[in-house]
Amino acid sequence: MLGTPSTKIVVLIASDVNVCGLAGLFHIDWLLPEYQQDFCSPGGAIVFQLRQSQSTGEYIVRASYIGQTLDQLWNQTILTMEVPPAISQCLFPTAVSTMLHSTARSANSCGLRPN
């Protein structure tokens, strides 16, 4: 198990090969500006969030791909809140979305809480 019930964030570090493997496993798709679809940019990351709907209380897993644009890499741009990296919402097939939803419910029953 990663973390404890009070853990707010868990960070896993991997190479682009691992990120692409995880994306392939879950059939995750994204598109960053200046790149081809599903391209793992240098230093890019898939970010998973466990969220809870305020209206229904249902748990939802969201994923985004975050990475520097080619211009940011070429210009060695320092990323800040004012100059952020590119972000793309990830798309899941329905079956994977359903599986992640079930996993989110299980995580909640184990005491993991969303931010």
Q: How far apart are CA 51 and CA 27, in angstroms?
A: 20
Work out the pLDDT band at 104, boundaries 50, 70, 90. Answer: low
Helix then strand then coil, in percent of the chain rounded to 5, is 30, 20, 50
Give me the helices (H) in the chain, please.
16-26, 70-74, 94-109
Assigned domain for 73 exists:
yes
Domain holding 71, by residue range, is 16-109
For residue 96, what pLDDT is reported?
Answer: 56
Q: Which CATH number fits the domain that encloses residue 105?
A: 3.40.50.1240
> Residue 115 pLDDT more than 50?
no
Burial class (CB in 10 A: 0-12, 13-18, 19+), 17: exposed
Residue 11 buriedness (CB in 10 A; 0-12 / 13-18 / 19+): exposed
Residue 38 lies in a domain: yes
Selected residue with higher pLDDT from 1 and 44? 44
Residue 6 lies in a domain: no
Task: Give one DSSP letter per residue of 53-73, joined into a string.
Answer: -TTT--EEEEEEEEE--HHHH
Inside any domain, residue 57 = yes
Residue 34 has pLDDT above 70, yes or no: yes
76 pLDDT higher than 90: yes
Q: Is residue 3 part of a domain?
A: no
pTM: 0.72
Look up tokens 């691992």; give the residue. 18
